[in-house]
Structure 1
Amino acid sequence: MNGSPSGFNNAPVTRTFVVACALFTILFGIQGRSNKLGLSYQDIFKKFQLWKLIVSVFAFSSTPELMFGLYLLYYFRVFERQIGSNKYSVFILFSVIVSLLSAILALALLKDPTLNVLTSGPYGLIFSSFVPFYLDIPVSTRFRVFGLGFSDKSFIYLAGLQLLLSSWKRSILPGICGILAGSLYRLNVFHIRRMKLPEFIASFFYRLSWPSVGSTSPAAPSRNVLGNMPSHTSRQVEGNYPVPMSSIIEPPEDSIATLVSMGFDRNNARQALVQARNDINAATNILLEAHSH
């Protein structure tokens, strides 16, 4: 599953967050201060260093964590496309705030001398995103390696596990707090899933022009509704897939059957495959995006 379309198209908030994480991590890494960014009991309850609280949300403490973290953030941009940049911004704020408060409360209650500093980085957002990933993203491909069963989702879980265990207790606690935040968002506590930021805040991200690979000039996000899905004779489909009328190929029956086995309507599955030019992963995302409405 690749979260198509490629790049940061229709995911400006994710793009901004990824670039911010990379810049903060590199900046403090060059200064040799990466190992001092983690929040400690003293930072929270005695010194209350606000700058450190903010920086700890963005900057990873090591290069391996940065690589796995940015990979997961980039993949999870599919959720911004599903619910829109406005609601996704609320999801980010909710995940970060709830996971931070949970971690602070856990430090106060545990008072574990071996857990005096938490690792830095957007662990709250990343592991909060694993909740909708587990519940909403279906498996499209299964395979076996040395007798063990895997799916296309396995690589995302393995990357998350690597990140979760990267600093042992220092990273496990923020990860667990992130999963808690994602679960509370899923349960719609305080009707959080209905909330939106003012439009001028959401549109701000579209006007940013980060020099990021794979992104195109910002455009207003489009939402796909299967009821209005173009027929197979359409010249232009969503997701920036311009398909000439003469080049359209009828979707393979086994691809349609795969999507139907996930619970999607056969006709919708066929139309999604046509839109995605028979890319089953892209078609899955189109169907999920339409289902979210």
Structure 2
Amino acid sequence: MATILSQYSTTGFYNAPVSKGLMGCMFLTCTALNVPLFAHFRKYLICKLPDAFLKGEIWRIASAKISFVDTKDLVCGSLLIYYFRVFERRYGSHKFASYLVASQVLTTVLEVLTILTLQWFSLDLHTGGFLPPGPYGVIFPLFVNYLFDIPRVAQTSVLGVPITGKTLTYLLGLQVCSTSPATAISALAGIVAGLLYRYNVLYVQQLPWVPGWLARGASATLGRLLASPPPPEGPSGATLELQRQEQIEMWEQQMMMNRAREMRNRPGANGAVHPLMQNFMGRRQNNPVQHPPPPPTEEQVQTLVEMGFDRQRVINALQTCNNDVNTATHLLLQES
């Protein structure tokens, strides 16, 4: 984990305090449950249906979703939260927190109904009705927005199968939900909950999942603790893989420029341009002069800025793409 997040661990949560706090809580709770001193608290993560209703222990349904108990799920789940922090920058912390609460509630309701329905038909996929512990309702609904809102950028292919910058994220989600049939059902319930919220079924988006006074209180008390400094100038893609790709491309271009300078400075070079730079430099020289497109609207600029891109780069990309947000997003994710 430290190796993967080494360079961007301190600045990667800029404008994403909810994601930072959620990821920290996941680590603290799972680590504490694996310490012998606090191991006895694991019993509160056990929830068996319908016994929880019959014994009046409905609170166990909520406590079962506090933490993962498997270290593998913890690591994969934390990485997914880190990748999905772009949505907090885009929606704002208050709206993002409301989304997480709503999706967790909807996922839990769907899980409980699914378990009771399976028991009604004498199908035991939960080892007797035990609810799988872990915040599946926080992670898997975000895959819906990740699928529809983050562009698919093809990087390579293996045996004809395209590998994109989003492939690793999907593989991490598959790793979390493949532990057992119960976890797969939890993941599926989370995806359905994400679809219900996205399409505002039963007007779930209008419900006050996180009241304004609570959001203001959390911002005043925990905001400074969870705040992160702005990232330095450099790669600012939406995910860690894209940041690394941008940085590698920038280094390659710098190496090509340095090699071209060396060739020009050699005796007898006569200012000739190295063949490696001909295609790179020839495009701008051959392009005819065009009138600049109209300036982008502030709403278009703000949409891409909240995804973590630099404002000036966003304006340049929108002008290049004739103010098309989707095309500009694709360009920003690929350019250096």
Query: How has the CA–CA distance of structure 1 residues 50 and 44 changed in structure 2, closer, same or farther, with 3 Å as cutoff?
Result: closer
Structure 2: how far apart are the matches of 1:140 and 1:182?
Answer: 23
Structure 2: how far apart are the matches of 1:152 and 1:92?
Answer: 24
Superposed CA offset, 1:222-244 (max 9, x none): xxxx523899xxxxx8758598x
Superposed CA offset, 1:102-152 (max 9, x none): 111111110133412222111012111111111111112431135432111
Per the alignment, residue 288 of structure 1 pairs with none
Superposed CA offset, 1:145-177 (max 9, x none): 3543211111111000111102x1120111111
* Cα distance, 1:280 vs structure 2: 2.2
What does 1:97-108 correspond to in 2, within 5 Å?
97-108=105-116
Say if 1:18 and 1:70, in contact at 8 Å, map to a contact too. Answer: yes
Query: How has the CA–CA distance of structure 1 residues 279 and 138 changed in structure 2, closer, same or farther, with 3 Å as cutoff?
Result: closer
Does 1:161 find its partner at 2:160? no
RMSD of Structure 2 on Structure 1 (CA): 4.0
Query: How has the CA–CA distance of structure 1 residues 281 and 45 changed in structure 2, closer, same or farther, with 3 Å as cutoff?
Result: farther
Structure 2: how far apart are the matches of 1:240 and 1:200?
Answer: 30
- Alignment equivalent of 1:134, drawn from 140, 147, 151: 147
The letter for the 2-side match of 1:176 is: L
Structure 1: how far apart are the matches of 2:224 and 2:64?
Answer: 22
What does 1:50-65 correspond to in 2, within 5 Å?
50-65=58-73
Superposed CA offset, 1:177-200 (max 9, x none): 111110100111233334554333
Say if 2:10 and 2:228, in contact at 8 Å, map to a contact too. Answer: no
Per the alignment, residue 280 of structure 1 pairs with 333
Query: How has the CA–CA distance of structure 1 residues 203 and 211 changed in structure 2, closer, same or farther, with 3 Å as cutoff?
Result: closer
Query: How has the CA–CA distance of structure 1 residues 269 and 134 changed in structure 2, closer, same or farther, with 3 Å as cutoff?
Result: closer
- Alignment equivalent of 1:228, drawn from 282, 298, 306: 298
Does 1:110 find its partner at 2:112? no
Structure 1: how far apart are the matches of 2:71 and 2:48?
Answer: 21
Per the alignment, residue 29 of structure 1 pairs with 34
Superposed CA offset, 1:17-73 (max 9, x none): 222222221222223358642432145322343553333222102100000011111
Normalising by structure 2, report the TM-score: 0.62
Tell which structure's C-alpha radius of gyration is larger.
2
Per the alignment, residue 177 of structure 1 pairs with 189
Query: Structure 1: which 5+ runs fail to align?
Result: 218-225, 232-236, 284-293
Say if 2:17 and 2:223, in contact at 8 Å, map to a contact too. Answer: no
The letter for the 2-side match of 1:25 is: C
Structure 2: how far apart are the matches of 1:134 and 1:271?
Answer: 16
Query: Structure 2: which 5+ runs fail to align?
Result: 231-295
Query: How has the CA–CA distance of structure 1 residues 242 and 188 changed in structure 2, closer, same or farther, with 3 Å as cutoff?
Result: closer
Say if 1:96 and 1:122, in contact at 8 Å, map to a contact too. Answer: yes
**3-state SS of 2:13 partner:** coil
- Alignment equivalent of 1:88, drawn from 83, 96, 103: 96
Query: How has the CA–CA distance of structure 1 residues 84 and 43 changed in structure 2, closer, same or farther, with 3 Å as cutoff?
Result: farther
Say if 1:39 and 1:56, in contact at 8 Å, map to a contact too. Answer: yes
Does 1:40 find its partner at 2:110? no
Does 1:199 find its partner at 2:195? no
Normalising by structure 1, report the TM-score: 0.70
Query: How has the CA–CA distance of structure 1 residues 108 and 195 changed in structure 2, closer, same or farther, with 3 Å as cutoff?
Result: closer
What does 1:8-27 correspond to in 2, within 5 Å?
8-27=13-32
Superposed CA offset, 1:207-227 (max 9, x none): 416877x9339xxxxxxxx52
Range with greater deviation from structure 2 (23-32 or 177-186): 23-32
The letter for the 1-side match of 2:89 is: R
Say if 1:87 and 1:193, in contact at 8 Å, map to a contact too. Answer: no
Query: How has the CA–CA distance of structure 1 residues 156 and 38 changed in structure 2, closer, same or farther, with 3 Å as cutoff?
Result: farther
Per the alignment, residue 276 of structure 2 pairs with none
Does 1:69 find its partner at 2:139? no
Structure 1: how far apart are the matches of 2:100 and 2:153?
Answer: 27
* Cα distance, 1:13 vs structure 2: 1.8
* Cα distance, 1:76 vs structure 2: 1.2
The letter for the 2-side match of 1:157 is: Y
Structure 2: how far apart are the matches of 1:141 and 1:48?
Answer: 52
Query: How has the CA–CA distance of structure 1 residues 186 and 50 changed in structure 2, closer, same or farther, with 3 Å as cutoff?
Result: same
The letter for the 2-side match of 1:14 is: S
Per the alignment, residue 7 of structure 1 pairs with 12
Query: How has the CA–CA distance of structure 1 residues 271 and 18 changed in structure 2, closer, same or farther, with 3 Å as cutoff?
Result: same
Query: How has the CA–CA distance of structure 1 residues 144 and 100 changed in structure 2, closer, same or farther, with 3 Å as cutoff?
Result: same
**3-state SS of 1:119 partner:** coil
The letter for the 2-side match of 1:280 is: L
Structure 2: how far apart are the matches of 1:187 and 1:51?
Answer: 29
